[in-house]
């Protein structure tokens, strides 16, 4: 499976996405910092590689593919990715519930990316947006892993194959 074989829908700015358009079907999704066609990031390096910091800073200095995920129901899964500032969160009345850390690391990382994009934004919100893409597939688990290996998203923490660089690269 290659990312070009999927029928991708998007890009939609995550901050203003109409989630009514998202189908209630199995699929995969991607978040990018660009609105042109999906493309692979550079291969990620081991943290111990001497070129790790150079390559990572280079990737984060230009718009890149942030995250790939899977969903048994796209319409349900994708709604939780839109970052809501703390003061805009509606709370129930009564005593506070016991806090549980978000067990979905990808969502937490993407929320952080949205927060810092908003904090550093000087241009229009759409130009600095995170963009959402999705594609329906009957095998989201295997498709997600194949896409992670092929596209090298910077925020995925599971399934990333890291590589040592060759000595000729900067």
CB-CB contact of 34 with 126 (8 Å): no
Phi-psi region of 25 (alpha: psi -120 to 50; beta: other; left: phi over 0): beta
3-state secondary structure of 67: strand
On the 0-12 / 13-18 / 19+ scale of CB atoms within 10 A, 8 is: middle
* Residue scoring higher pLDDT (8 or 97): 8
pLDDT tens across 65-76, in order?
989 999 999 999
3-85+104-151 classified as CATH 3.40.30.10: no
**CA–CA gap between residue 115 and residue 139 (Å, rounded):** 32
**pTM (2 decimals)?**
0.74
**CA–CA gap between residue 126 and residue 45 (Å, rounded):** 31
Provide the H-helix boundaries in the chain.
52-61, 74-79, 105-119, 140-151
CB-CB contact of 43 with 144 (8 Å): no
pLDDT tens across 76-93, in order?
999 888 766 554 555 566
Using 50, 70 and 90 to split pLDDT, how confident is the model at 50? confident
On the 0-12 / 13-18 / 19+ scale of CB atoms within 10 A, 82 is: middle
């Amino acid at each position: 499976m290659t990312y070009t074989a999927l029928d991708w829908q998007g890009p939609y700015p995550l901050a203003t996405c109409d989630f009514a358009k998202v189908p209630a079907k199995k699929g995969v999704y991607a978040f990018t910092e660009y609105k042109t066609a999906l493309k692979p990031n550079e291969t990620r390096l081991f943290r111990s590689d001497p070129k790790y910091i150079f390559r990572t800073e280079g990737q984060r200095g230009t718009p890149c593919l942030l995250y790939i995920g899977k969903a048994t129901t796209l319409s349900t899964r994708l709604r939780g990715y839109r970052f809501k500032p703390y003061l805009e969160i509606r709370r129930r009345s009564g005593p506070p519930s016991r806090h549980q850390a978000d067990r979905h690391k990808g969502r937490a990382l993407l929320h952080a990316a949205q927060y810092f994009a908003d904090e550093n934004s000087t241009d229009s919100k759409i130009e600095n947006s995170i963009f959402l893409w999705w594609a329906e597939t009957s095998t989201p688990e295997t498709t997600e892993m194949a896409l992670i290996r092929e596209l090298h998203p910077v925020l995925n923490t599971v399934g990333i194959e890291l590589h040592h660089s060759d000595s000729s690269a900067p």
